[in-house]
Amino acid sequence: MAVASAVLQSEWTKIRTVSSTVWTLASAFFVTVAMGAGLSALTNATFNDMRAVERATFDPTLISFSGMILGQLAMVVFGVLVVGTEYSSGMIRTSLAAVPQRATFLFSKVAVAGGLALLVGLATSFTAFFLGQALLGGHRASIGDDNVLRAVIGAGLYMGLIALFSMGVAAMLRSSMLSLGILVPFLLLVSNILSAVPKAKEVALYFPDQAGSKVMRVVPDAMNSEEAPYGPWGGLGIMVLWVVASLIGGYLVLKKRDA
């Protein structure tokens, strides 16, 4: 127990003294909030120009989180750099010499970084929601409306989980550049393109980002989109399975391979 506590303190010291921690988490917050606020204001100004079916399925809560599509990329960079920097700097050899218990080393890092990402994610989701609703005028939702609090908390959980997923991928690939080269195009382009292609979209529904993001919706078919075959918490559960799989994969690679 004393070893785990010491490793946690060590990982906390590493994370808070690295400049990338501040700029990646700050970027995740400001990009998500600013883009969500801008699109909320634009939606309020052009609401009457929307098609009738889009107005009927309008989801004011989801509009607040429009910036999440870019904000999540900053969380990906944070998660990848937390693990990948150990390899690119050569610190992994020193770290494993100090903490030979590889599970303790990896999961202490994941616990500290994941907890920090979760706190920033929740701060981001609540700020984006309240600012976005203020800019939506008469089209806004209240935090007390049905399922709205669930969607706001879920948005924060989503940001924390995407950071954890990225840590697992970086631990498996042992390279920041390779991890970012796969995750960023996948989340920004591939996943969204496949979700719009007939046949492929049925598979894309189970991608971590597509499944996890459903928890942010209050209206299941928001903006006349198709409903998923699972509920909001079911979608987040699918994302958790992806996170668990990536972290187990990362641990197995760390355990089997030399530093």
Determine contact, residues 181/187, Cβ cutoff 8 Å: no
**Residues 249, 254, 258, CA angle at the centre, nearest 5°?**
140
Say how far apart CA 191 and CA 121 lie, in whole Å: 21
Percentage of the chain lying above the pLDDT 70 cut: 98
Encode pLDDT of 120-136 as tens digits: 999 999 999 999 999 99
Question: Burial level of 258, CB count in 10 A (0-12/13-18/19+)?
Answer: exposed
Q: What is the mean pLDDT of residues 147-165?
A: 97
Encode pLDDT of 219-256 as tens digits: 988 876 778 899 999 999 999 999 999 999 999 999 98
Residue 235: the pLDDT is 96
Question: What stretches of 17-146 show up as alpha helix (H) in DSSP?
Answer: 19-46, 52-56, 60-64, 68-88, 91-98, 102-135
- What is the total count of domains within the chain? 1
Residue 238: the pLDDT is 98
Closest to 171 in 3D by CA, of 184, 187, 183: 183
Determine contact, residues 234/67, Cβ cutoff 8 Å: no
**Is the pLDDT higher at 3 or at 198?**
198
| Structural domain range at position 82 | 68-121+141-256
Q: Does residue 152 lie within any of the structural domains?
A: yes
Q: What is the mean pLDDT of residues 22-47?
A: 96
Percentage of the chain lying above the pLDDT 90 cut: 77
Determine contact, residues 95/3, Cβ cutoff 8 Å: no
Q: Does residue 9 lie within any of the structural domains?
A: no
Say how far apart CA 214 and CA 145 lie, in whole Å: 18
Q: What is the mean pLDDT of residues 45-64?
A: 92
Q: Does residue 208 lie within any of the structural domains?
A: yes
Residue 111, token pair as written in the block: 């616990």
Mean pLDDT of the residues in the chain: 93
Residue 224: the pLDDT is 67
> What residues have CB less than 8 Å from 133, skipping those under 6 apart?
40, 60, 64, 140, 141, 142
| Residue in the structure block whose two tokens are 């089997």 | 256
Q: Does residue 176 lie within any of the structural domains?
A: yes
Encode pLDDT of 75-99 as tens digits: 999 999 999 999 988 889 999 988 8
Determine contact, residues 152/158, Cβ cutoff 8 Å: no
Say how far apart CA 69 and CA 65 lie, in whole Å: 8
| Residue in the structure block whose two tokens are 């631990």 | 171
Q: Does residue 53 lie within any of the structural domains?
A: no
Q: Does residue 41 lie within any of the structural domains?
A: no
Q: Does residue 4 lie within any of the structural domains?
A: no
pLDDT interval class at 259 (50, 70, 90): low
Q: What is the mean pLDDT of residues 6-18?
A: 89
Encode pLDDT of 183-233 as tens digits: 999 999 999 899 888 889 899 999 999 999 999 999 988 876 778 899 999
Q: Does residue 169 lie within any of the structural domains?
A: yes
